[in-house]
């Protein structure tokens, strides 16, 4: 435990697009310094560190750990190496904020969570929609009993970058093509954004998934199902029926073919005393509720939500106080178990499966 303003030195592992977001967020926090970057691509690393005023750079994680002059790491590497890069950092006594998903299978994710706990280190997952104030407000209302006993929910994550080039041309850009290829480490839309919408549900509902059935779909997108070295076999859409431990039943879906929706999340929660609707669309947040005397006439009213600390701020606070913050590695491992179970359900003709806790 350190003081509330103790210096915190951050190392950035990986220098892709998301790494810039991490650096910008940390550099806004008083007393936090981004001291080093790591990437095997020397020219890209040099340009990244020069542009963002990062003083030290290393081509290998091993060299960075040997140097050791940092307190915590933002792991912004590709999904497939989260496990192999996080373990040595934890062994070296470094706190870790890891990009989602925590790992690509539940066994690896559980190993990461167990090691962080054993070492007494802060391990957090960058589930960035926890920064959405209306989601946190909704979770608080549910926890207070505003909806009564939860009975039903509907959730969706809608993207359209396979039909609209708002973020670039996926046919020609590797940053999108790899997300369509299992050989390049992609778990498809289920692993990429499914983890976000599942977290949206369980956080707001205050209850983890107990069982589910899932159906995934991969659509034909190119002649022969490939573009260059990329075999386009990762799932593009999924629908999932889930039961939560609190007994609520509902649906979760995500797709990259939602024409007209660049990056939109929706959640509806219904209890025996009221309903909530949470939206994050075009980067605009909204929350409305129908409860009490309004139920008879089905009148909904808007609810305002105050800004909440970002995951980067919560990570730094957790390091300074020694108090774990959410979403932690244990939560990330539980979400990965849900994703693994969804894949298993799909391969088993969408059979309903209870989570193997």
Give 131-160 pLDDT, tens digit per residue.
999 999 999 999 999 999 999 999 999 999
Say what the pLDDT of residue 17 is: 85
Contact 289/274 with Cβ under 8 angstroms? yes
Q: Per-residue pLDDT averaged across 44-60, rounded? A: 97
Nearest residue to 278 via CA among 143, 150, 136, 148: 136
pLDDT range class, residue 4, cuts 50, 70, 90: low
130-312+337-354 belongs to which homologous superfamily?
A: Dihydrodipicolinate Reductase; domain 2 (3.30.360.10)
Q: Who's near 26: CB < 8 A, 6+ residues apart?
A: 10, 32, 34, 74, 312, 316
| Percent of the chain with pLDDT strictly greater than 70 | 98
pLDDT of 1 above 70? no
Give start and end residues of each alpha helix (H) in the chain: 17-27, 42-51, 61-67, 82-91, 106-119, 133-143, 174-177, 188-189, 195-205, 311-321, 329-347
**From CA 99, how far away is CA 111, in angstroms rounded?**
16
Provide CATH code, domain 8-128.
Answer: 3.40.50.720
> Does residue 78 or residue 162 have the better pLDDT?
162
The least confident of 90-94, 178-182, 232-236 is 178-182
Interatomic CA distance for residues 203 and 16, integer angstroms: 28
Measured CA to CA, the distance from residue 111 to residue 117 in angstroms comes to 10
Asked whether the beta carbons of 57 and 41 are under 8 A apart, the reply is: no
Q: What is the pLDDT of residue 125?
A: 98
209 close to 244: Cβ distance less than 8 angstroms? yes
The pLDDT value given to residue 293: 94
Between CA 186 and CA 178 the distance in angstroms is 7
328 — pLDDT class (breaks 50, 70, 90): very high
| Rounded Cα gap, residues 35 and 37, in angstroms | 7
Per the CB < 8 A criterion, the answer to whether 331 and 207 are in contact is no
Pick from 273, 272, 254: which is nearest to 263 by CA?
Answer: 254
pLDDT, mean over the chain: 96
pLDDT score of 357 more than 80: no
DSSP state letters, 41-106: -HHHHHHHHHHTT--EEESSHHHHHHH---SEEEE-S-GGGHHHHHHHHHHTT-EEEEESSS-SSH
Q: How many residues does this entry show for the chain?
A: 357
pLDDT of residue 185: 85
In 3D space, the residue among 82, 88, 126, 89 whose CA is nearest the CA of residue 108 turns out to be 82
Confidence of residue 261 (pLDDT cuts 50, 70, 90): very high
Tokens representing residue 336 in the block: 């990965």
Q: Give the residue extent of every domain in the chain.
A: 8-128, 130-312+337-354
């Amino acid at each position: 435990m350190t003081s509330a303003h103790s210096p915190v030195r951050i190392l950035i592992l990986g220098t892709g697009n998301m790494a810039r977001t991490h650096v910008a967020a940390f550099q806004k926090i008083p007393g936090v310094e981004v001291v080093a970057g790591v990437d095997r691509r020397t020219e890209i690393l040099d340009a990244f560190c020069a542009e963002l005023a990062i003083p030290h750079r290393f081509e290998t994680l091993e060299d960075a750990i040997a140097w050791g002059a940092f307190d915590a790491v933002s792991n912004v590497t590709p999904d497939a190496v989260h496990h192999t890069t996080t373990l040595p950092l934890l062994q070296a006594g470094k706190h870790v904020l890891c990009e989602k998903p925590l790992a690509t299978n539940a066994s690896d994710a559980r190993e990461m969570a167990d090691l962080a706990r054993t070492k007494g280190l802060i391990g957090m997952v960058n589930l960035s929609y926890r920064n959405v104030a209306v989601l946190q407000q909704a979770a608080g209302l549910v926890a207070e009993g505003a909806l009564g006993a939860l009975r039903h929910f509907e959730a969706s994550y809608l993207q359209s970058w396979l039909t609209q080039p708002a973020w670039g041309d996926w046919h020609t850009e590797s940053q999108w093509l790899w997300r369509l290829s299992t050989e390049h480490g992609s778990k498809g839309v289920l692993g990429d954004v499914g983890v976000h919408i599942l977290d949206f549900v369980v956080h707001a509902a205050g209850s983890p998934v107990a069982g589910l059935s899932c159906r995934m779909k991969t659509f034909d997108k190119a002649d022969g199902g490939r573009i260059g070295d990329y075999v386009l076999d990762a799932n593009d859409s999924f629908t999932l029926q889930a039961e939560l431990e609190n007994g609520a039943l509902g649906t979760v879906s995500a797709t990259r073919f939602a024409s007209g929706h660049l990056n939109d999340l929706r959640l509806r929660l219904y209890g025996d005393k009221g309903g909530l609707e949470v939206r994050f669309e075009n980067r605009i947040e909204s929350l409305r509720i129908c409860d009490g005397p309004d139920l008879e006439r089905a009148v909904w009213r808007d609810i305002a939500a105050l800004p909440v600390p970002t995951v980067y701020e919560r990570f730094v606070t957790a390091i300074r106080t020694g108090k774990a913050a959410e979403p932690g590695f244990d939560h990330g491992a539980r979400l990965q178990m849900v994703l693994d179970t969804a894949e298993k359900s799909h391969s088993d003709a969408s059979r309903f499966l209870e989570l193997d806790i």
